[in-house]
Structure 1
């Protein structure tokens, strides 16, 4: 099997549960290369755009400023045709309700977990790895996410630790380190943005038959969904609110940065703290182990 890469982007809603959707596509690297050439040509075809962002397309702003809806839809259809020519065998989406998360988790969580991006990024990696392992895939997958300020640093530090919660077959499918890119220049991230936006829109039950049809079409035949249940989010909030005092100081930016610094040192030294299935216990283990490492180094 050729090398595989997974590209993920996010789309967030401002309505209801305010769902955050991470959606991604996995394909062979040679197919991604051919796709990028064809996608670039489709972007440049008149009326041309430099890049695709669905928020701009939907609002007729940015690259789509001054366009009519009909011309916009024709442009999107031409891009969907490119996706169809190089259709990935697998697509995925992981979603979480930001309203629930900000109500139950953000006020009581450590600094690095005050937004759901860290949790949902690991959820996406986990979903892909577990599914492909079940399909008998043995080639490690390279993961590329749209850039998120600060999250990339935390993921780089804690990913190895979090992956210990996966079974060995799934864990071996994750090529490290996880990468981040600019979706204006990394073309497969633009189709991930298209997928995430359409999935979120569809789940909001918007009555637009063109969008609903396109949402179904751009999914691969094998599409894996992993919604994070509201009851799980509430359990996290309860667990953090009852957490050991060892977690309390991690709510400040300075203390979280100091934890990052010690984590980087210990990681370079080959030290990995004991893992745990519960996120609060896991973070407590990290903090206690790294404090011990710091004290002995």
Structure 2
């Protein structure tokens, strides 16, 4: 049986980051297989074994010596492949301080239980979008979806608990198939989610800074523009619970 698979990763869990982000992509299993096969030659050509977004941004590790244009071109090629095979990108960011002050705020329709962390809040919103977005919701409810997150995050048990609660509470056993955790080295799909999460968080921080400075304009991060050019994305940045509307 072919089901949909949503790969998710996070960014901003370290204390100095004001924003936590969870982001990733959803597609059918066979589409992910085509994506992996088509994108692999680009990694081989550039001798990239594992795509770590922070290393890419910092021009470190395997990306040492790369120019800005080389980094942007590499991401652009991967994004063009994603546009041919994937259904949608999703990213949710929450301002940590404001979230703690407004812990009662929740995604519409979710049960009135205490959300423990901004990470779990972002996860809840992503699941809500997967179930409700008109661009993918019908396919999700017809075919079912499996969620795959990067392993190692201290709040992954909370995400797993939330997934199980929503699945049982709303009778979605035939819709929310499973949740599992894989290392970054497992596949290009989880590495792609890492890139979206990292640059979405940076974009959220930029938006927050512009808001704090009272700026009437804000320039979206160039890498975010490249990532979002070939594929529909739904993104949300909660900065003090004043929203930038979803794309």
TM-score grouping bracket, smaller chain normalisation: 0.7 to 0.9
Aligned to 2:226: 214
* From 157, 164, 168, the counterpart of 1:160: 164
RMSD over aligned Cα atoms? 3.4
> Which structure would you say has the larger RCO, counting Cα contacts within 8 Å and 6 or more residues apart?
2
Name the one with the larger helix percent.
1
Deviates more, 1:66-75 or 1:18-27: 66-75
Which residue among 117, 133, 137 is the counterpart of 2:119?
A: 117
Distance 1:8 1:136 in 2: 16
Counterparts in 2 of 1:104 and 1:130: CA distance versus 1, 3 Å: closer
Q: Which has the larger radius of gyration?
A: 1
Report deviation, 1:153.
Answer: 3.0
Corresponding position of 1:38: 38
Alignment CA distance shift 1:207-1:61 (3 Å): farther
Q: 1:3 to 1:25 in 2, by over 3 A?
A: same
Mark the runs of 5 or more structure 1 residues left unpaired by the alignment: 106-111, 233-297
Aligned residue pair count: 219
C-alpha change, 1:162 and 1:31, in structure 2 (3 Å) is: closer
Distance 1:155 1:68, change over 3 A: closer
Tell me the distance in 1 between the aligned counterparts of 2:19 and 2:117.
13
1:127-206 equivalent positions in 2, closer than 5 A: 127-131=129-133, 132-133=136-137, 137-164=141-168, 166=170, 168=171, 172-176=174-178, 178-203=179-204, 204-205=206-207
In structure 1, how many angstroms separate the alpha carbons of the residues matched to 2:189 and 2:224?
22
Q: TM-score, normalised by structure 1?
A: 0.61
The structure that is strand-richer by fraction is 2
Which position in structure 2 is the counterpart of 1:292?
Answer: none
Q: Which moved more, 1:48-57 or 1:199-208?
A: 199-208
- Superposed counterparts of 1:1-297, under 5 Å: 2-12=2-12, 18-45=18-45, 47-86=46-85, 88-101=86-99, 115-131=117-133, 132-133=136-137, 137-164=141-168, 166=170, 168=171, 172-176=174-178, 178-203=179-204, 204-205=206-207, 207=219, 210-218=222-230, 220-221=231-232, 223-227=233-237, 230=240
Is the 2:75–2:227 Cα contact (8 Å) retained in structure 1? no
8 A contact 2:11–2:197 mirrored in 1: yes
CA drift at 1:217: 0.8
Whether the 8 Å CA contact 2:9–2:150 is kept in 1: the answer is yes
Question: Compared with structure 1, are the counterparts of its residues 71 and 102 closer, same or farther at alpha carbon in structure 2 (3 Å cutoff)?
Answer: same
Question: What are the ranges of 5 or more consecutive residues in structure 2 without an aligned counterpart?
Answer: 104-113, 208-217, 243-247
